[in-house]
Amino acid sequence: MDKEKQMTKLAFLGLGVMGAPMAGHLQKAGHDVTVYNRTAAKAEDWVKAHGGAMARTPREAVKDAEVVMACVGNDDDLRSVCLGETGAFGGMTAGAIFVDHTTVSAAVTRELYKAADAAQISFVDAPISGGQAGAENGALSIMCGGDKGAFDRALPVMEVYAKICRRIGESGAGQMTKMCNQIAIAGLVQGLSEALHFAEKAGLDGRAVVEVISQGAAGSWQMANRYETMLDDEFDHGFAVDWMRKDLGICLKTADENGASLPVTALVDQFYKDVQKLGGARWDTSSLIKRLRAMG
């Protein structure tokens, strides 16, 4: 706790399904948190629930903050929060650290790392995995890129809502690692969907099947946490298909640039496009099984 107390003045920008509980953990841990959200009503509700303070702009929110966290939507959202007319970089104190939890491209990460350096602040890319439940339970996996000194200073703050938090390398390495995460998930969810769909077609009890195969080589986080809702045809939770397609688009674009071959990822991305056409833009990513059921 002594390490955490060294950094008490914090700002959190973006209060979506991930950001709101993460900021809540920081406030509960005894930090002085000021929040900002594009829709001010969410910030007002957060303050009513957790205490702390809210600001109307990113620049106002980061005043005097030693560490600033962001968890927004995409590259453009992040640029706006950092560099916009009322952006955070213009209001941060020299020596402060900006920690970005958004899943964005490594290109925008490196662009903002340079802009931060010019403003005499540090920038750590720190995308997260673990879903809404991980954020709510303070058990996220955080993969980081950036200068080691900045990472070491920000680590005690991130550990408040992390199960594991590691620096992988220089700026952009965190985002590249998150791409690996999404590439792995895409194939896993499709495989699990096909297995459960096959069990249904074979007249098997899906729960009994998973009870057995989950204890062997087929076991995974996706199986343990999503098989029941998949069997029950429930997808109003977790990470939305729209966001997954955004992430996979980043993966595929980066693969074109670095020469990686991602045939399964490209295929599953198209399967998610089919799910969107079924009306599943906001369904959980495990809704790939809905596509199989729709095919008969």
Question: What does the block give as tokens for 6?
Answer: 């060294």
How much is the pLDDT for 147? 98
Where does the pLDDT of residue 288 fall: very low under 50, low under 70, confident under 90, or very high at 90 and above?
A: very high
Q: Indicate whether 221 pLDDT > 80.
A: yes
d(CA 231, CA 206): 7
Contact (Cβ atoms closer than 8 angstroms) between residue 81 and residue 58: yes
pLDDT at 2: 43
Residue 148 has pLDDT above 60, yes or no: yes
Asked if residues 60 and 13 have their Cβ atoms less than 8 Å apart, the reply is no
Per-residue pLDDT tens over the stretch 196-208: 999 999 999 999 9
The letter for the amino acid at 95 is G
Give the active site residue among 178, 253, 273, 277.
178
Element (H, E) at 34: strand 32-36
* Cβ proximity of 244 and 285 under 8 Å: yes
Residue 120: CB atoms within 10 A of its CB come to 11
Confidence bin at 238 (pLDDT 50/70/90)? confident
* pLDDT value at residue 205: 98
- Tens of pLDDT, residue by residue over 78-99, are 999 999 999 999 999 999 999 9
Which of the four pLDDT bands, split at 50, 70 and 90, describes residue 296? Answer: confident
**38 Cβ contact list (under 8 Å, min separation 6):** 14
Task: Record the pTM.
Answer: 0.93
Residue 48: other Cβ atoms inside 10 A: 9
Share of residues in the chain with pLDDT > 70 (%): 98
Q: Give percent above pLDDT 90 in the chain.
A: 96
**Are the beta carbons of 24 and 79 closer than 8 angstroms?**
no
The CA distance from 268 to 127, in Å, is 22
CA dist 172 and 81 (Å) reads 18
Q: Confirm whether 178 is a catalytic residue.
A: yes
pLDDT tops 50 at residue 3: no
Contact between 242 and 284 under an 8 Å Cβ cutoff? The reply is no
